[in-house]
């Protein structure tokens, strides 16, 4: 009689434990494999019209700009295509309202070394003291960092070519891109290894141009 009672108790606990275990496992599993899908609103698009692009070589100056993250400064670049197909770039920093305009870079590319200069989204340093612009040429993109007040950097040069500094001082990995600013004077550099995989990330500290290898890849 006593044995039978023990067997019944054992069986009952066995079933309860198995039930709880399976239920919890199912709940836990449900949480880890679940996937939600939500549909975004269908965006209302304005009526679009197509335009013919004029074929004349010399064009009106084209201006693009990027406001600083705090909304107080503006970096603008005016591009003019010349009669010989070259482009002239004028990069200016100013207050957000356009006042206190300061020319900080001016350059002209030729047909032979044609590149594309642009202002990246993260161009401004957090304290608005530095900016960097990018120059895409072929498959490579260089970054030129400079002071936003038009003054030369510490070594009296008007700007720092990040890729050149990296090539001169960097280790085995190859410069790939400059993504933005880690802090007021630290540019974030991503690299790739000789095998083509993602390499370590670096900080380039301005105005000293010192490189700091990071343990984290950005």
Partner 1 sequence: MPKKLSNQKKPRPANSRKKKNVLIPFKKLIFFGFTVLSFFVFTNSVLSLYIANSSCANDGSCKSDLSLSIDNSAVGMFEGKKILPPKISQANASLPQVLGDNVAPGEKHIFVDLSTQTLTAYQGSVLVLKTLVATGKWNRTPTGNFHIWEKLVSTRMKGGEGADAYDLPNVPYVMYFHNDFGLHGAYWHDNFGHPMSHGCVNMRQIDAKALYAWADGPVGNTPGTEVSICDQITGSGQCIQNNPIQK
* Contacting positions for partner 1 (CB under 8 A): 3, 6-7, 10-11, 13-14, 17-18, 20-21, 24-25, 27-28, 31-44, 67-71, 121-122, 124-127, 179-184, 186, 188, 216, 218
Q: Which of 73, 81, 30 is nearest to 53 (CA)?
A: 81
Q: Which is nearer to partner 1, 89 or 181 (CB)?
A: 181
Q: Which is nearer to partner 1, 111 or 136 (CB)?
A: 136
Do strands 130-137 and 202-205 pair parallel, antiparallel, or not at all (unpaired)? unpaired
Q: Which is nearer to partner 1, 89 or 124 (CB)?
A: 124
Cβ 104 vs Cβ 131: under 8 Å:
yes
> Cβ of residue 181: shortest distance to partner 1, in angstroms?
4
> Cβ of residue 208: shortest distance to partner 1, in angstroms?
14
User: Any alpha helices (H) in 82-202, and if so which ranges?
Assistant: 162-169
> Cβ of residue 149: shortest distance to partner 1, in angstroms?
17
> Cβ of residue 124: shortest distance to partner 1, in angstroms?
6
Q: Which is nearer to partner 1, 73 or 170 (CB)?
A: 73
A 10 A CB-CB count for 170 gives 19
> Cβ of residue 67: shortest distance to partner 1, in angstroms?
6
Question: CB neighbours of 153 closer than 8 A, spacing ≥ 6?
Answer: 145, 146, 147, 159, 160, 206, 207
Report the alpha-carbon distance of residue 129 to residue 126 in Å, rounded: 8
Q: Which is nearer to partner 1, 44 or 155 (CB)?
A: 44
> Cβ of residue 71: shortest distance to partner 1, in angstroms?
4
Q: Which is nearer to partner 1, 27 or 51 (CB)?
A: 27
Please give the radius of gyration of the chain, using alpha carbons only, rounded to the nearest integer.
Answer: 29
Report the alpha-carbon distance of residue 198 to residue 14 in Å, rounded: 52
- How long, in residues, is the chain? 218
């Amino acid at each position: 009689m006593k044995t039978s009672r023990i067997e019944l108790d054992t069986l009952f606990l066995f079933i309860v434990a198995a039930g709880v275990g399976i239920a919890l496992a199912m709940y836990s599993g449900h949480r880890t494999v679940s996937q939600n899908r939500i549909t975004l609103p269908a965006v209302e698009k304005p009526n679009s019209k197509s335009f013919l692009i004029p074929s004349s070589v010399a064009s009106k100056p084209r201006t693009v700009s990027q406001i600083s993250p705090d909304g107080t400064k503006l970096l603008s670049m005016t591009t003019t295509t010349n009669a010989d197909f070259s482009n002239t770039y004028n990069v200016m920093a100013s207050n957000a309202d356009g006042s206190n305009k300061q020319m900080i870079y001016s350059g002209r590319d030729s047909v032979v070394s044609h590149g594309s200069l642009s202002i990246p989204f993260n161009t401004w340093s957090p304290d608005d003291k530095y900016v960097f612009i990018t120059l895409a040429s072929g498959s490579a993109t260089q970054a030129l960092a400079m002071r936003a007040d038009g003054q030369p950097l510490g070594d009296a040069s008007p700007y720092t070519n990040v890729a050149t500094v990296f090539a001169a001082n960097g280790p085995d990995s190859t410069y790939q891109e400059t993504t933005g600013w880690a802090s007021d004077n630290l540019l974030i550099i991503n690299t790739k290894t000789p095998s083509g995989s993602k390499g370590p990330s670096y900080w380039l500290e301005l105005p000293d141009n010192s490189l700091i290898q990071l343990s984290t890849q950005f």
